[in-house]
Amino acid sequence: MKIMKQLMILFLVCLISYGISLVLPFAFPASIISMLLMLLLMLLRIIRPESIRETAELLLANMAFFFIPSGVQIIAYYHVIRGDVLQLLLVCLLSLVITFAVTAFTVLGVIRMMGKSE
């Protein structure tokens, strides 16, 4: 029952975010709005991390399961992207390198900030 309550909280935040994305005069992904809304709710201490921890850990442990629909869609639309596979792989590789670099610099920055605060 505890996980159902936690899921209800997460789904409610997602539903509100979807409504916000429909009202906005420009296209903005509801998933990003959900993350920002969840961050805001946690910063304002309206939702405590402990109140959704079990469900969040369950979802993170099974994250690979959520990539199955994306993989199936890539295979289903292979005929559309067949001619652009090289460009697609190049973009994926480039974005991978950029993501690694940004993550590394962010971690270094946080480590330096934590060292200065001590």
pLDDT band at 118 (very low <50, low <70, confident <90, very high): low
* 59-103 confidence digits (pLDDT tens): 999 988 888 988 888 888 888 888 888 998 999 999 999 999 999
Q: Residue 109: which region, alpha, beta or left (left: phi > 0; alpha: psi -120 to 50)?
A: alpha
Task: State the CB neighbour count (10 A cutoff) for residue 115.
Answer: 8
* 17-75 confidence digits (pLDDT tens): 999 999 999 999 999 999 999 999 999 999 998 889 999 899 999 988 888 988 888 88
Task: State the CB neighbour count (10 A cutoff) for residue 41.
Answer: 14
- Token match 């505890």: residue? 2
For the chain, which residues make up each domain, given as ranges?
1-61, 66-118
Q: Which of 110, 19, 12 is nearest to 55 (CA)?
A: 12
Distances 9 to 20, 40, 46, 68, 102 between C-alpha atoms, Å: 17, 14, 11, 25, 31
Rg (CA), the chain: 19
